[in-house]
Amino acid sequence: VQLQAYGGGLVPSGGSLRLSCAASGRTISTSTMGWFRRAPGKEREFVAAISWTGANTLYADFVKGRFTISRENAKNTVYLQMNSLKPEDTAVYYCAARRGVTTKKDDAREYHYWGQGTLVTVSS
The 3-state DSSP class for residue 37 equals strand
pLDDT at 64: 93
As a whole-number percent, the residues of the chain with pLDDT over 70 amount to 100
Give pLDDT tens digits for 46-102: 999 999 999 999 999 999 999 999 999 999 999 999 999 999 999 999 999 999 888
As a whole-number percent, the residues of the chain with pLDDT over 90 amount to 92
Say whether pLDDT at 113 is over 90.
Answer: yes
Nearest C-alpha neighbor of 91 from the set 54, 42, 52? 42
Residue 94 and residue 5 in contact, taking contact as beta carbons nearer than 8 Å: yes
Angle at CA of residue 122, ends 37 and 108, nearest 5°: 5
Structure letter (DSSP) for residue 68: E
Class of residue 39 by CB neighbours under 10 A (exposed 0-12, middle 13-18, buried 19+): middle
pLDDT at 97: 97
